[in-house]
A and B are shown apart, each in its own frame.
Chain A
Amino acid sequence: MSARDGFGQVLRGEWTKLVTVRSTVWCLFLTVGLTILLSIIGAQGSSTNVGDNAERLLEDRFHFMHQPLDGDGTITARVVRQEDTGDWAKAGIMIKQSTEPRTPYVAMLVTPGHGVRFQADFSTDVAAGAGGTPAWLRLTRSGTTITGFTSPDGAAWRQVGTAELAGLPRTAEVGMFAATPASGTRVIRRGGSTTSSPDYEPSTATFDSVRLAPAAGGPAGAWQSDAIGGGVEFADGTTLVGEASESGGVFTVTGTGDIREVPFTERGDDDIVRNALGGVYLGMIAAAVLGVLYVTSEYKTGMIRTTLTASPRRGRVLVAKALLLGTVTFACGLVASLASLLGARPIQRDRGFVPPFYPDPSLTSGTVLRAVFGTAAFLALMALLGLGLGAVIRRTAGAVVAVLALAVVPGIASSLLPVEGEKWLQRLTPLAGLAMQQTRERWDNWVSPWPGFAVACAYVALALAAAVLLIRRRDTA
């Protein structure tokens, strides 16, 4: 084999075509330019008023089986069983100023994923080591000081934490509670409009050995069942209210919600990194057209015959094309995504996406890097999809339409389908590759980053495999 026949020679030939054909150079330029342009326009047109309220935001929603406790006293209970509806589902005992939400409280509680804990006033959180149910819990009030204890057997007690609740009235509410944070998002599409709300799976806990000292004045019926903060209302209009009951000394409490301060980063739900990279929706069209033209223009001008005469091993020609196109588009895509992210950020800040609600994305963060590189890789994949379909179809018009119909249209038509249909369409089309841009949990993340990327790669692999197979078997038209 002479040197001229080597793979390096093929690569060089394809490189020359890529950088000297006017339309492919234009497409590369447009891929970068349009991506940045739409990203900046998108940032200009976005806004949020999340920063208007800088006060603490407290979530206080749970189900409470309680009765008043007059003055100092102690409550003891054993959590026999807790339904595992999430790592942070909570079941335990509480002393709370009143049944009004967001009033001060102290609680000893058990969680499925984070053991036994002492929590107070939406800020104190003390871990008492691992250990699930059954768990013995105790709270003792002395003046405005409340101390939490836990025990493996109900005999030997260990102090976990203590908290001072300034202004705690003489009579406070005391009892057993259950709560579980949102497990996801419930999306309802009905009559053409889409609404979403947090979705909850209620958690049930059972308690026994409940002792109140000094003993309650009234009969056992003095226990009252209340949904603190009200029930949960879903987007579809249904509501979920917890419940509590007592039978033979065993208490069953079912509740939803959470007791915590909502962190600043959860107060707004925009994924600012994904939004800053939104220009990819325009750039991907230029990238796909680039891939198509890189091969169909050779068919149009008849150049392909010269190419394949000079290098008769046809599969290798395509491999060389794919390698070069992929590398060059990825490099240009990286420029585009970095420029979009850095260019859009100051604008986003002006539009209200400010720290601490929206901290500046850091280029050392794994998810941000995944989004930046993933966007570049997605553009490269679109170019390769165009290349594969271009080599299969050989006509510019047909291939451009095929690649856009496959990659762009489903994303739009899907909003007319029922939510399940949209979910699967987004998972199964090449657009799934854009899941790499996710940097936070959102209800419309239908597919996780890497599986979504794998779906896009699978399309490209199929198209390129078909192209290699066909270019070997077919006459050059």
Chain B
Amino acid sequence: MKHAPRFRGAPAIAAARVSERGMGVTALHHRGGPGLVRALHGEWTKLRTLPSTGWLLLGLVASTVGLGAVTTWSIPTDCLDPDLGCREDLARVNLTGVYLAQIAVVVLAALAVTAEYGTQTIRVTLTAEPRRGLVFVAKAIVVTALVAGAGTVGVLGALAAGRPILSGNGFTTAAGYPPLSLGDEPTLRAAGGTVLYLLLVGLLSLGIGMSLRHTPAVLATVLSALFVWPIAASLLSGEWAARVMKYAPMNAGLAIQATERLDDLLIGPWQGLGVLAAYAAGTLLTGAVVFSLRDA
């Protein structure tokens, strides 16, 4: 990681670059460029020049593929015995890497907001573009685009890495497990849903980032919201445990990965993703309101 002692790190560099572009912004305005395009350009530049962004995207892809490969390799082969009458959910296990990858998404989205507050670049941003709604939308679009791109690469990589591992361990068409393919509707839903899940987690983090503004507070809040509920559910019994597992953001959202025994799920794949989308919408809305009302 590069260090720029006097400016205390890269957000300050981003700030400098944005202010360099101050004149360019005016020029663009005169050329009649639409506001959103300019805002997007500014947000893209800020996020691109944070040194952490590249590492986080790399981490997102690497953990999706790497952890996915390890867990795929470790799937027990007991269920290959047809007498036992069980089936492994290969697509879901293949996409386990998302548990780690979502951390990179949370940090990326949080830093897209909090880094600006940490360095006060936000004031420059809002001076250059006083329409706060536009800034907010631009941030959301840039974060979503980056996560979608890296998430798709990671998911495709995990599927590609998983195929030879699975056939090597005996999960073959002959054994009733055709290779994972996006041509199968359930696999496509699991793979596409995983990318959507990562997007929604990014938006959730962005929304909370807008409300709380401090990096550690945002990270601790979002990561607790994602990871603590499943542990808490293990303390509860019966009905309450089921309720928590049904509506906790991570458990609900990742129901989209299921391709086997959908009847056993506490919440259906799309309904689960819908629950996460509702959380994301709620935090985004809160974030947007707070962002437009509060002093920067």
Contact = CB atoms under 8 A, between A and B. Distances in A.
Contacts of A139: none
A281 interface: yes
A197 to B, nearest CB: 16
Nearest to A275: B235
Interface stretch (B74-82, B140-148, B279-287): B74-82
21 contacts: A38-B235, A46-B236, A46-B237, A47-B238, A47-B240, A190-B79, A191-B86, A191-B88, A192-B261, A278-B234, A286-B220, A292-B216, A397-B216, A401-B103, A401-B107, A411-B231, A412-B227, A413-B67, A416-B99, A418-B76, A421-B74
Given A46-B236, A192-B89, A409 B228 contact: no
Given A47-B237, A285-B228, A401-B107, A408 B74 contact: no
Interface of B: 1, 3, 5, 8-9, 52, 67, 71, 74-76, 78-79, 84, 86-89, 92-93, 96, 99-100, 103, 107, 110-111, 114, 118, 214-216, 219-220, 223-224, 227-228, 230-232, 234-238, 240-241, 244, 260-261, 264
A285 B71 CA distance: 26
Nearest to B67: A413
Interface string A322-354: 000000000000000000000000000000000
A192 B220 contact: no
A395 to B, nearest CB: 8
Contact of B88 (A192, A417, A421): A192
A300 interface: yes
Interface of A: 23, 38, 41-42, 44-48, 189-193, 237, 275, 278, 281-282, 285-286, 289, 292-293, 300, 302, 395-398, 400-401, 404-405, 408-409, 411-413, 415-418, 421, 475, 477
Contacts of B3: 477
A397 B107 contact: yes
A23 B228 CA distance: 21
B208 to A, nearest CB: 14
B230 A412 contact: yes
Given A397-B215, A404-B227, A417-B71, A46 B8 contact: no
Chain B CB within 10 A, most for which of A48, A293, A397 = A397
Given A46-B240, A411-B231, A192 B260 contact: yes
Given A281-B228, A397-B219, A405 B103 contact: yes
Contacts of A398: 52
Contacts of B9: 395
A42 B74 contact: no
A285 B89 contact: no
B216 A413 contact: no
B241 A45 contact: yes
A404 B241 contact: no
A285 B99 contact: no
A41 B231 CA distance: 13
A48 B237 CA distance: 8
A281 B71 contact: no
A160 B8 CA distance: 84
A265 B92 CA distance: 40
Nearest to A278: B235
Contacts of B230: 412, 415
Chain B CB within 10 A, most for which of A190, A292, A300 = A190
Contact of A192 (B52, B92, B224): B92
Nearest to B88: A191
B238 A189 contact: no
Contacts of A191: 79, 86-89, 260-261
Nearest to A419: B76
A360 B174 CA distance: 57
Nearest to B93: A416
A246 B264 CA distance: 50
A312 B24 CA distance: 47
A392 to B, nearest CB: 12
A477 B6 CA distance: 9
Given A190-B76, A289-B220, A400-B216, A416 B228 contact: no
A189 B88 CA distance: 10
B236 A23 contact: no
A45 B237 contact: yes
B215 A413 contact: no
Given A191-B79, A401-B103, A45 B236 contact: yes
B96 A282 contact: no
B153 to A, nearest CB: 21
A190 B216 contact: no
B24 to A, nearest CB: 30
Nearest to A405: B103
Q: Lowest 3 A-B CB distances belong to which pairs?
A: A45-B240, A42-B235, A191-B86
Contacts of A415: 230
A396 B111 CA distance: 11
A262 to B, nearest CB: 21
Contacts of B224: 282, 285
B223 A404 contact: yes
B223 A412 contact: no
Contacts of B227: 404, 408-409, 412
A293 B216 contact: yes
B236 A42 contact: yes
A417 B67 CA distance: 11
B35 to A, nearest CB: 30
Chain A CB within 10 A, most for which of B88, B96, B224, B244 = B224
B15 to A, nearest CB: 15
A189 B76 contact: yes
Nearest to B230: A412
A418 B216 contact: no
A413 B260 contact: no
A416 B220 CA distance: 24
Chain A CB within 10 A, most for which of B100, B103, B235, B244 = B235
Contacts of B67: 413
B8 A302 contact: yes
Contacts of A421: 74
Contacts of A405: 100, 103
B207 to A, nearest CB: 17
B236 to A, nearest CB: 4
